[in-house]
Amino acid sequence: MDDNYILEIKGLQTCFYQEDKVYYAVDDVSFGIRRGEILGIVGESGCGKSVTALSVLRLISGKGKIKKGAIEFDGCDLTQIREEEMRKMRGRKIAMIFQDPMISLSPVYTVGAQIQEAILAHNKIPSKEAWRKAVEMLEKVGIPSPESRAKEYPHQMSGGMRQRVMIAMALSMDPKLLIADEPTTALDVTIQAQILDLIMQIRKERQMSVMLITHDLGVIAETADRVVVMYAGKVVESADVRTLFKNPSHPYTLGLMNALPRLDRECERLYTIKGTVPSPADLPQGCRYAGRCPLCEERCLKEQPELVKVGEDHEAACFFSKKTAELRRKMAAGDIRDSSGI
């Protein structure tokens, strides 16, 4: 394992079994997270972002299974260790926050008691000391009057406050890696900005690595150092954030960017990506984006493109990545209104 990376995922394949069908939610995915960086993972719903994160924590449900691949964290392959060892990893070294804290937080315990329980699960310390640390963590994530707030129940707090509680709980063990799965989806724009600023501030203070999962390219542009774009269970592009936005080399990445509303461009309607994401139970033989791609040719229908280097620290899984630049210019000029053709 490269010492520059805290996490390296190599050839990960996670599938789900239902009756006589196998659904490949994550299929041969490889990427790494460097120490102290924020890696953004972006893609449509169902592309495999959350399943990848759950695979790292080995929290796949009973009908799911990590079929093959390696997940190397700080020199240890998480796919090979016993469940007892993995439980010690969760929370202490790898923590996760989810998009809906109301599902993650128990409604029958105060938020302080839940953070206290998480601390006691990994430390042999007195309950009073764990409570003091819980209150301290609430203060660190910007919750006012933390002593009194710690005695409140989740339903007594706003969505933004509940998400701060989840962040406080995740950080209570000072993890090396924080996985944030759509942490701002259910929040209004102002609170979203506050939560993202908080994550970035904590990353800087603790030199912590962050895997930030989102479908929002605006969030990626503001926070990420590098980006992985996923589609139908595969990585289709990866690059540092500036390169990705300046020079997207996969038609899917370009389609996502052009679907964003922009104040500097007049158009009658937003750009659209035609078609739908293929079902995990019925994946095409060739490129999984072929049915929606304006650059699709016969080869794309028969062969799966591999991730190849298209620049420094920039990879794309497309046979015609150079043509994406031409498509980008035509879209920017307004010559085409969607991704249905060049």
Q: Residues 274-313: pLDDT tens digits?
A: 888 888 888 899 999 999 998 999 999 999 999 999 999 9
Take residue 192 and report the two structure tokens written for it. Answer: 């979203």
Q: Are 177 and 94 in contact (CB under 8 A)?
A: yes
pLDDT at 342 over 50: no
Q: Are 49 and 213 in contact (CB under 8 A)?
A: yes
Please tell me the distance from the alpha carbon of residue 8 to that of residue 229, in angstroms, as a whole number: 16
pLDDT at 211 over 90: yes
Query: What value does the mean pLDDT take over residues 54-73?
Result: 93
- The model's confidence at residue 165, banded by pLDDT at 50, 70 and 90, is very high
Q: Which residue, 274, 313, 314, is CA-closest to 296?
A: 274
As a whole-number percent, the residues of the chain with pLDDT over 70 amount to: 94
Query: What value does the mean pLDDT take over residues 6-18?
Result: 95
Residue extents of the structural domains in the chain: 234-333
- Poorest-pLDDT segment among 72-76, 133-137, 185-189, 201-205: 185-189
What pLDDT sits at residue 341? 45
Q: Residues 22-53: pLDDT tens digits?
A: 899 999 999 999 999 999 999 988 899 999 99
pLDDT at 121 over 50: yes
Name 330's Cβ contacts closer than 8 Å, sequence gap at least 6.
336, 342
Q: Residues 241-281: pLDDT tens digits?
A: 999 999 999 999 998 988 777 666 666 677 788 888 888 88
Take residue 295 and report the two structure tokens written for it. Answer: 């650059």
Please tell me the distance from the alpha carbon of residue 204 to that of residue 235, in angstroms, as a whole number: 27
Residues forming beta bridges with residue 337, ordered by sequence position:
none
Residue-level length of the chain: 342
Q: Are 237 and 317 in contact (CB under 8 A)?
A: yes
H helices of 145-250, in order, are 146-149, 159-171, 189-206, 217-223, 241-246
- Helix %, strand %, coil % for the chain, to 5? 35, 25, 40
- How confident is the prediction for the chain on average, in pLDDT? 89
- Poorest-pLDDT segment among 190-194, 234-238, 285-289, 303-307: 190-194
